[in-house]
Structure 1
Amino acid sequence: MEALLEFLPLIIFFVVYKFVDIYWATAALIVCSALQVLYFVVRKQPVPKKHLVLFGLMAGFGGLTIFLQNDLFLKWKVTIVYLLFAAALLIYDKVLNQNLLKKILEEAFDAPQQVWRKLNYAWVGYFLFFAGSNIYVAYNFDQETWVQYKVFGLTILMFVGLIFTIVNLYKYIRPEEESSENKE
Structure 2
Amino acid sequence: MKILFDFLPLLVFFACYKLGGMHAEAVQAFVNTYMSSLLAGGSATAEQAPMVIATLAGILANALQIVYLKARGRKVDFMLWLSLFFFVVFGGLTIYFHDENFIKWKPTLIYWCFAVGLLVARYYFKNNLIRKAMGTQLSLPDEVWEKLNLSWTVFFAALGCINLFVAFVLFKADTASWVSFKAFGTTGLTFAFIIVQTIFLAKYIKDEEA
Task: Check the 8 A contact 1:13/1:26 in 2, yes or no.
Answer: yes
Equivalent in 83, 86, 91 of residue 54 of structure 1:
83
SS in 1 for 2:7: helix
Q: What is the number of residues matched between the two proteins?
A: 174
**Matched-pair contact (CA < 8 Å) for 1:108–1:173:** no
Q: Indicate the RMSD between aligned Cα atoms, in angstroms.
A: 1.4
Separation in 2 of the partners of 1:13 and 1:104? 28
Offset, 1:173: 4.3
Q: How does 1:15-54 map to 2 (within 5 A)?
A: 15-20=15-20, 21-54=50-83
C-alpha separation in 1, matches of 2:6 and 2:76: 13
Give how far 1:58 is off. 0.7
AA matched with 1:158: T
Structure 1 residue 171: Cα displacement: 3.9
| Structure 1 residue 128 corresponds to structure 2 residue 157 | yes
Give the superposition deviation at 1:53: 1.3
Amino acid at match of 2:12: I
> For 2:198, which of 166, 173, 182 is the aligned residue?
166
Letter matched to residue 153 of structure 1 = G
The normalised TM-score by structure 1 is 0.89
- Counterparts in 2 of 1:108 and 1:172: CA distance versus 1, 3 Å: farther
Pick which of 82-91 and 140-149 moved more. 140-149
* Runs of 5+ consecutive residues of structure 1 not aligned to the other structure: 175-184
Q: In structure 1, how many angstroms separate the alpha carbons of the residues matched to 2:154 and 2:62?
A: 26
Matching residue's letter, 2:59: I
Question: Identity rate of aligned residues, in percent?
Answer: 37
1:81-160 matched pairs, under 5 angstroms? 81-140=110-169, 141=171, 142-160=174-192
Displacement of 1:81 after TM fit?
0.3
2:14 is matched with which residue? 14
Taking structure 2 as the reference length, the TM-score comes to 0.79
What do the CA deviations read for 1:104-142 (whole angstroms, capped 9, x no partner)? 001110011111111111111111111001111111112
Report the 3-state secondary structure (helix = DSSP H, G, I; strand = E; otherwise coil) of the residue aligned with 1:150.
Answer: helix
- Contiguous gaps of at least 5 residues in structure 2: 21-49
Structure 1: which amino acid aligns with 2:91?
G
